[in-house]
Structure 1
Amino acid sequence: MARSVSAAVVTAALGISACLLTASPAQAATGAVTGLAGKCLDVAGADPADGTPVQLYDCNGTGAQQWTVGSDGTIRALGKCLDVTGNSTTDGAKVQLWSCTGGANQKWTVTAAHDIVNPQANKCLDVTDNNSANGSRIQIWSCSGGANQKWNAPTGNDGTPSGFVVSEAQFNQMFPNRNPFYTYSGLTAALSAYPGFANTGSDTVRKQEAAAFLANVSHETGGLVYVVEQNTANYPTYCDWSQPYGCPAGQSAYYGRGPLQLSWNFNYKAAGDALGIDLLGNPWQVENNASVAWKTGLWYWNTQRGPGSMTAHAAMVNGAGFGQTIRSINGSLECDGRNPAQVQSRVDAYQRFTQILGVSPGSNLYC
């Protein structure tokens, strides 16, 4: 199940697959958002005016602490939106209440890891100076995993972390025979690594991107059945000794693993560096930890062009179409008439998944 690539291309494609193979969106949820020291996200003075600071404060059950986490990515209180001041993307930019505009500085992803991320800035909602005193201002800051960036926010009535367009029920419908390793919680826990994924653009675009990613994953893994490459004879072939870091885990350690079948030592090195995980030294994490496995798939989807001219993420959010995601993942072996059956397999999965999510598949499905 692993793709043979030129070893000279350090961030080339991941692995060819040798394995061929309507529900409503999550509802908005309202309640308190609790964080550091069990205190609440609070609108100062319960003042609904534009520009009112958002702070940490003892929970008191008032409307100033009742936040609606919407499926549109907004978080609202007192009829207005949680807003990054001045549309800033820099560390330390303060968060305020403001009339809802639909701007990217008012979009948030609530992750299963309890981060609240502004995808435009790729930064986390943060209590300034880790100070739990009443009145401590809320800001955005580079995500660190610290306690001052962890929040308990209301979720939709199906338990889906707000901001992700695929519910657990829809995920299970897409993959009825999946390997228990590929958990929904592992996927949602991985989303914080790339908060722009399936969270950029209109509701239609976000659903199309999620369907496109999962369709390619389905093709690569035989419907989320295979965790590792099935052809063990290929295992020794994915070590490029010309790389200065070599293959510290061993000649045969870098075979295809995970939802997009990550393979080659240089891909494990690049993915690990991007994710802050030592995958070069311990590639087995990808087959032992569902969240790590999903993160490697999201890493490739969001950052690597492979044999294509754009990342798969860019293809979906910029309207290039599903066909360009195929090109980015395995275009050199499938596109331009090289293997139309493989392309059709991916397209079939994409059309099936968009139907489950209740959205049009759009145009330009083939490559």
Structure 2
Amino acid sequence: MPRQSFRGLSLARSAVVLAVGALLATLFAVPASAADPVGQITGLGGKCVDVAGASNANGTPVQLYDCNGSAAQSWTVAGDGTLRALGKCLDIVDRGTADGSLVQLWDCGGGANQKWVVNSARDIVNPQANKCLDVKDRSTANGARLQIWTCTGQSNQKWTAAGTTPGGGNPSGFVVSESQFNQMFPSRNPFYTYSGLTAALSAYPGFANSGSDTVKRQEAAAFLANVSHETGGLVYVVEQNTANYPHYCDPNQSYGCPAGQAAYYGRGPIQLSWNFNYKAAGDALGINLLADPWRVERESAVAWKTGLWYWNTQNGPGTMTPHNAMVNQAGFGQTIRSINGSLECDGRNPAQVQSRVTNYQRFTQILGVAPGNNLYC
């Protein structure tokens, strides 16, 4: 399905710092009160903020560790701005403010070294030091120590509550909240609405709703990463190279091109093109897109449905649908092969492949999940 592709746009990092009460609404999606349950907090590699050995002794290291649902990984946020586990507080050793100052568990004393806020980029910040909670040496190994460090915007400083919907409430039930969607696509065209996307989900209820929570988030990130690449970060609704427009009518099809020779150009999040694809997508969705392909550029939900149609039902130049590639853990690279592998995979265009992979890695970070294996094709 040839299409015009665009590299994704860089994510603008907001410097707005929110009060700790907003931490719950933006990062953990639970209502603020005197002491609210957060549960697991995931970071680099999809691992959890963990109290070593589940000990509540003063000075116990706080580290990164495989998520296991234990009390050592069950955090609450208190009204005084502290993060607590096992009845004690997340604390900066020796009240340090320098890069590399380690964090530990300690009796809650109300000191500035136990106060934390979160900004809109999902950094957890100690205001006194003006530094971010950070994974030492960017390690994903079990036992990697947590520390504070100058805020860099890197993935080892990004945090999400694994058991909730980060970024705010999400009535749709989709694993990507509206605030996360906006974070992924800060410069998107207003045509590509979040409500249009969630309205389209009913057409393919298995999408981002199959397997474990990790698989669901990985699939959502994979779909949106490819979409971002195809549309320049959801900027472009239609293919930009108008010279290609007359090329997408295959006259050998019995139904021809009733909307016109040049009517079947790339549109929407996967840049649907060719008369036979408009026919197949329309038949599957119960929409006469062969006669009226312009609906894909007029109606947000219809555009999103065509993207989900391709993702969930078409192998393209690959050997499996992108949906099956993610659900069966074949890896993100197989989604690239199914969408544009004949032009990009096996060394044909490594820069385009890298663009898609970079988008996917960024989006999995936003969703607080590891990207998995086999990222390239």
Deviation at 1:158, TM superposition (A): 3.5
Cα distance in 2 for partners of 1:26, 1:207 equals 16
- Counterpart amino acid of 2:312? N
Question: Is the CA contact 2:272–2:306 (under 8 Å) kept in the aligned structure 1?
Answer: yes
Question: Is the CA contact 1:20–1:342 (under 8 Å) kept in the aligned structure 2?
Answer: no
- Computing the radius of gyration over CA atoms, which structure comes out larger, 1 or 2? 2
CA shift digits 1:167-210 (9 cap, x unpaired): 00000000000000000000000000000000000000000000
SS at match of 1:281: coil
Deviation at 1:214, TM superposition (A): 0.1
Cα distance in 1 for partners of 2:336, 2:175 equals 22
CA RMSD of the aligned region, Å?
A: 2.1
Alignment of 1:154-303 (within 5 A): 158-303=168-313
- Counterpart amino acid of 1:219? H
Deviation at 1:17, TM superposition (A): 1.2
Deviation at 1:15, TM superposition (A): 2.2
Q: 1:364 aligns with which of 353, 365, 374?
A: 374
Runs of 4+, deviation exceeding 4 Å:
18-28
CA change 1:178–1:157 in 2 (3 A) is closer
SS at match of 2:272: coil
- Report the identity percentage: 80
Which TM-score applies when normalising by structure 1? 0.60
- What's the counterpart of residue 3 of structure 2? 15
Question: Is the CA contact 1:256–1:263 (under 8 Å) kept in the aligned structure 2?
Answer: yes
- Counterpart amino acid of 2:258? P
CA change 1:243–1:27 in 2 (3 A) is farther
Cα distance in 1 for partners of 2:317, 2:253 equals 20
Deviation at 1:161, TM superposition (A): 2.8
**Alignment coverage as a number of residue pairs:** 229
Which TM-score applies when normalising by structure 2? 0.58
Alignment of 1:327-338 (within 5 A): 327-338=337-348
- Counterpart amino acid of 1:246? G
Structure 1 gap ranges (5+): 1-12, 29-154
Deviation at 1:27, TM superposition (A): 6.2
Cα distance in 1 for partners of 2:212, 2:180 equals 20
Deviation at 1:325, TM superposition (A): 0.2
Structure 2 gap ranges (5+): 10-22, 32-164
Deviation at 1:19, TM superposition (A): 5.1
Cα distance in 1 for partners of 2:367, 2:334 equals 21
Deviation at 1:250, TM superposition (A): 0.3
